Amino acid sequence: MNGTHKYLQQAEKKIKMNNKSKTVALINLGCTKNLVDAEEMLGRIAAGGSTICQRPEDAEVLVVNTCGFIDDSKKESIDMIFKMAKLKENARCKKLIVTGCLAQRYSAELKNDIPEIDDVVGLKNFEKITHLTGKLKKKKNDNNNFYHNNDDWRNRIRLTPKHYSYLRISDGCDNRCTYCAIPGIRGTFMSRTVENIMEEARQMAFEGVKEINIISQDTTSYGVDIYGKQMLHVLLENIAEIEGIQWIRLLYTHPRHFYPELIKTMSVQDKICKYVDLPIQHINDTILEKMGRKITRKSIVTLINNLRESMHSIVLRTSVIVGFPGETDEQFQELLEFVKKIKFERLGAFVYSKEENTPAANFSKQVSKKVKQRRVEEIMLAQRDIVLENNKNLIGKKVSVIVDEKDTVTGGLIGRTYGDAPEVDGKVFMNDHQINAGEIREVVIANVNGYDLVA
């Protein structure tokens, strides 16, 4: 909620107030892909004649953009819907609209179970959001189907700080990992064309973006659906030529879809951060097979070695799932030992969440909540030692840092190294007062503060 509040403050500044229009507040939850959906929806809401406001209490129309990926995110979304529903009783709110993944997945249930909800809008049905919040009339074909509109970015109201943004290059996923509900929610894999993405990237640079974070559900597959071959390296080369763009970061890559030209482009192109978000999910071959990851331990190890040999300074982020159905103590130990041995610079561990309409939900030998919790804690404890050790090794070294914001507590600055993605990774706290947000400078690391650095 705090993050959303910060974003909405910026949205309000970007949109001219218009007293005659409806006031709309959007509360966004979930991942960066949801954030881009929210930004595109805000663009449509504003284009429809409404005024975006910062505080939900001031809004006549409330839009909750939900996440429905796993149990925890569903719970957070439902809690937020109930919280906003209360504003229909004791604030200005006349209409409550629920959008996003949860809306796509449980449209009927939401309408039946929470009568305060006036409308449920499935993913990408932005035409509907325009007339529901604004003055435009409902169109005949305005139903709850998927559609892919490559031009939604044109009205997009970016909520991130001016100097960085998320660039979505495709949506949907064809991988069908057995635990994952995303393909059912977001549909099949759909790439945008290189030309369309480049137009948006140039616009970002024109507006002052220095760091582009490339997102999708499966970034490394970019292009296979529309060009018949992987085209991420070509896209990266094109983006790197844009004047003003200084850092390009790859998020959500699938290890199975890494390919030699991509590694070569990453290693020779200075603007591409030597950082990869590479979710491996597990390392035991039996579990990987049951997860439907279509990759083996051997291939994952080969890829990691290849990446580290090609780019000595590379920072690897991964995510793993513990407590997948049938995961034995031995298989979990194999994962734990692997994490300790490989020493990923960044790692997120998640407990397996049994999701409706996914094959793994029907697998036998579901692991108890208690065991899953213990395993996730063990992994995170091991990772904490790795991060602390890595951070200590940086003391006295020079690193490039992008400045994100002023530190309101100390009056100094807060930034990130090339090895830290916005929102998810560590921060660098600096004593300097003179550098503007978005500037990239070399600083000397003086100390470590847990997962963060002091320069």
Q: Which stretch binds ligand SF4 (CB under 6 A): 93-101, 180-188, 362-370, 415-423?
A: 180-188
Q: Which stretch binds ligand SF4 (CB under 6 A): 156-164, 169-177, 295-303, 335-343?
A: 169-177
Distance (Å, rounded) from C-alpha 152 to C-alpha 158? 12
| Smallest distance from ligand SF4 to CB 218, Å | 5
Please give the structure tokens belonging to residue 241. Answer: 């030529």
| Smallest distance from ligand SF4 to CB 70, Å | 11
Residues 197-236 that bind ligand SF4 (CB under 6 A): 217-218
Distance (Å, rounded) from C-alpha 31 to C-alpha 274? 22
| Smallest distance from ligand SF4 to CB 172, Å | 9
- Decide if residue 176 touches ligand SF4 (CB under 6 A): yes
117, 123, 177, 437: which one contacts ligand SF4 (CB under 6 A)? 177
Pick between residue 175 and residue 203 the one whose CB is nearest to ligand SF4: 175
| Smallest distance from ligand SF4 to CB 189, Å | 8
Question: How many residues at the interface with ligand SF4, by CB under 6 A?
Answer: 10
Q: In b/e form, how buried is each residue of 220-253, taking b as 16+ CB within 10 angstroms?
A: bbbbbeeeeebbbbbbbebbbebeebbbbbbbbb
102, 182, 194, 272: which one contacts ligand SF4 (CB under 6 A)? 182
- Decide if residue 299 touches ligand SF4 (CB under 6 A): no
Pick between residue 142 and residue 285 the one whose CB is nearest to ligand SF4: 285
- Decide if residue 278 touches ligand SF4 (CB under 6 A): no
Pick between residue 11 and residue 349 the one whose CB is nearest to ligand SF4: 349
Pick between residue 350 and residue 451 the one whose CB is nearest to ligand SF4: 350
| Smallest distance from ligand SF4 to CB 446, Å | 39
| Smallest distance from ligand SF4 to CB 175, Å | 4
Q: Which stretch binds ligand SF4 (CB under 6 A): 178-186, 224-232, 337-345, 386-394?
A: 178-186
* Strand ranges for 33-185 from DSSP E: 51-52, 61-66, 95-100, 119-121, 164-168, 170-171
DSSP state of 108: H
- Decide if residue 188 touches ligand SF4 (CB under 6 A): no
Distance (Å, rounded) from C-alpha 445 to C-alpha 393? 10
Pick between residue 156 and residue 293 the one whose CB is nearest to ligand SF4: 293
- Exposed, middle or buried: residue 109 (CB in 10 Å: 0-12, 13-18, 19+)? exposed
Please give the structure tokens belonging to residue 425. Answer: 């990774």
Helix (DSSP H) and strand (DSSP E) numbers for the chain: 15, 19
**10 Å Cβ neighbour count for 432?**
13
Pick between residue 218 and residue 345 the one whose CB is nearest to ligand SF4: 218
Residues 4-23 that bind ligand SF4 (CB under 6 A): none
**10 Å Cβ neighbour count for 29?**
24
* Strand ranges for 101-221 from DSSP E: 119-121, 164-168, 170-171, 190-191, 211-215
Residue where the block lists tokens 């080969």: 302
Please give the structure tokens belonging to residue 38. Answer: 């929210």
- Decide if residue 254 touches ligand SF4 (CB under 6 A): yes
Pick between residue 45 and residue 177 the one whose CB is nearest to ligand SF4: 177
Distance (Å, rounded) from C-alpha 255 to C-alpha 261? 14
| Smallest distance from ligand SF4 to CB 123, Å | 14
* Strand ranges for 206-284 from DSSP E: 211-215, 247-250, 272-277
62, 97, 132, 180: which one contacts ligand SF4 (CB under 6 A)? 180
| Smallest distance from ligand SF4 to CB 320, Å | 12
Residue where the block lists tokens 């199975």: 256
- Decide if residue 51 touches ligand SF4 (CB under 6 A): no
User: H-type helices in 295-358, by residue range?
Assistant: 297-310, 329-342
| Smallest distance from ligand SF4 to CB 34, Å | 13
- Decide if residue 173 touches ligand SF4 (CB under 6 A): yes
Contacts of 146 (CB under 8 A, 6+ apart): 122, 123, 124, 125, 187
Q: Which residues bind ligand SF4 (CB under 6 A)?
A: 173, 175-177, 180, 182-183, 217-218, 254
